[in-house]
Structure 1
Amino acid sequence: MAGWEVSRHPEWDMMYAAGLTVREISDLCHWQCTTIHRHLQMREKYESGTHAKHEAALAARGVDRPTISWRKLLAEVLEFQTIHSRLPHHEGDDTERRLHRWVLDQGRAYRNGEMSAPKIILLDALVGWSIDIRQQERDEVWRAKLTSLIEFTATYQRTPRYQNFSSEAERVLGVWLHVQHQRRAEGKLLPWRLEMMDEAFLHWQSRM
């Protein structure tokens, strides 16, 4: 068995070094504060500077620290995800929409590089929180359009036209396809979208 010179709880060490308080570590890991205190005291004994590193990180946290109200909201979202096996959605009741907006705000701050390390560590328990939900919804709409385009082409043995169209549905698909051509020509079509278009329609890039 390894001696005390080897940390028994390296995850606590990481959180403490990132500036999380003992109370925050306790809330996240569901261990008593006294147990965590004893562990950290032992780490300071075998790894001098542990506490000083924590104090420096704590001082650097500034205004973007996980406040009590912030941790309360995180706990609500975690409970929601545990019960429903998903993140809150914008089409839910007032409580769910409130939690949905909070998750969006966290993801936006993270992607903009505006989130402190303690918050990132605490949010690690929330599955999918850093995903751009709105972008995910736009991607789903794009995939649905591609499916409609494939179905149209299979039915009529041609691609839809945005001029001289036979129906409003064809015009909408024709405009969408024309936009994909434009974005591809400008180098703005996402690589995975370009790949899906290439797989669905051989030589589609040569058509304008």
Structure 2
Amino acid sequence: MDRNREQGIRLMTQTKRPAPHPEWVLMYRKGIPAPKIAAGAGVAASVVRYHLAIAAKQDPGLRQEHQAAMPVPPPRVTDAGRRNLASVLAFHHAEGRLPVNGRSPQESALAGWLTRRRQQAAYGALSPAYAHALDTIPGWRDYPTKRDADAARWQQRLAEVAAWLAAGHDWPRHNKTEDQAERTLGVWLHTQRIDYRAGKLTAAKEKQLDDVIPGWRHGRVRRGGNSRGGSA
């Protein structure tokens, strides 16, 4: 019997098979892909896909069940992922918060990478190497909002100004200084004074400022003992 005749007979046999074939549907439902089912049955993959298409019309949730049942690939750790991990850890150490979208291209990129790690963690597919390192950051699995990030940064700046004063420095200046660290703290403190005078500073923040860095409203003192009246 020649090859063409064999194929013809096989196709005729296949067309007589009731569709959808229950065994193939069950295998597909368990996550086995159509080509593998076809290879095991000794038929063309197109025949299996035809049966599965009919089954999917009868049961619209079939393909979702197939996807859910497919084995999860082992978590991977790439060189780029290691660099992003190190950057996230360094960012948290420097800023006292996690990166969020919308502040800068670099921060947004880190925020996007961290979001994907949160998704993997939720599905149990996060690499243990990532999980072990990121779990050193409290609450990293939660999705931070911009308000959360702003509140964390405010608390961080308050602590930094307190540490600056405890080190023996005068009130940090927001101008007339070459020290970028001092300027950063000075701008933050100057903003708190502006908000206070405009009635925009919340009572809770005002109390924290009074408790942690008393005298913050006045700033440096001129020679002769007169205050600069709130200047940084």
Q: TM-score scaled by structure 2?
A: 0.34
Per residue, is there more helix in 1 or in 2?
1
- Greater Rg by CA: 2
Q: TM-score scaled by structure 1?
A: 0.37
| More relative contact order, 1 or 2 (CA 8 Å, 6+ apart) | 1
